[in-house]
Amino acid sequence: MTSAFYGLLLKNIGEEIGNENIDLQSKKLFYQLGKLKTLQALEMNPKLERNARSFAIVLISAIYNASPEYIFTIEKYTKKNTTIILTGVDRYLRILTELEIAQYVTFPTLLPFLQAINDTLEINCEIEYNFNTSEKENEAQCIYNFKMT
């Protein structure tokens, strides 16, 4: 439902004000969502440390609640350096592809989300990533490798 809402809203933006505006709106939405989820995490745990580990905690809790089909692998988990691999079907890529507007959006769409976590926690992590897709059972399987240092 959430991904359909996202995709349909972006499609309407493209139809109403031009496809060149789709990416900016996608980035704004994911940034605002990342900020909201970080503030909610801080509200639930005001003593949450502000480092690369807390970055991972916020990311995993937010994504797991929205996309439980992702598999999370934590390769490194320290205060200064955390590496997470997410594997699974990207619902947002799927809906944008179905609606034939994926070419107007910068992938991975999660980058503004991650930047919002970083900005809201005020930890100044550098975010490195690899993003790959592969076809598996007629679905775009995505592999995200995020490193926060």
How far, in Å, CA of 37 to CA of 14, rounded? 27
pLDDT digits (tens, 9 = 90+) for 64-120: 777 667 888 999 999 999 999 988 888 888 899 999 999 999 988 889 999 999 999
Neighbouring CB atoms inside 10 A of 11's CB total 19
List, in sequence order, every residue forming a beta bridge with 77; answer none if it has no partner.
Answer: 82
- pLDDT tens column, 31-67: 999 999 999 999 999 999 999 999 899 999 888 777 6
Phi first, then psi: what are they for 45, rounded to 5°?
A: -140, 80
Mean pLDDT of 124-130: 87
Rounded distance between C-alpha atoms, residue 82 and residue 117, angstroms: 14
Read off the pTM.
0.89
Domain that holds residue 34: 2-148
3-state secondary structure of 87: strand
Identify the band that residue 124 occupies on the pLDDT scale cut at 50, 70 and 90: confident
Locus of tokens 């980058």:
111
Domain count for the chain, please give it. 1
Confidence of residue 2 (pLDDT cuts 50, 70, 90): confident
Query: Quick one: pLDDT at residue 136?
Result: 65
DSSP category for residue 20: G
Report the pLDDT averaged over residues 21-27. 97
For residue 14, the domain's CATH number is 3.30.1380
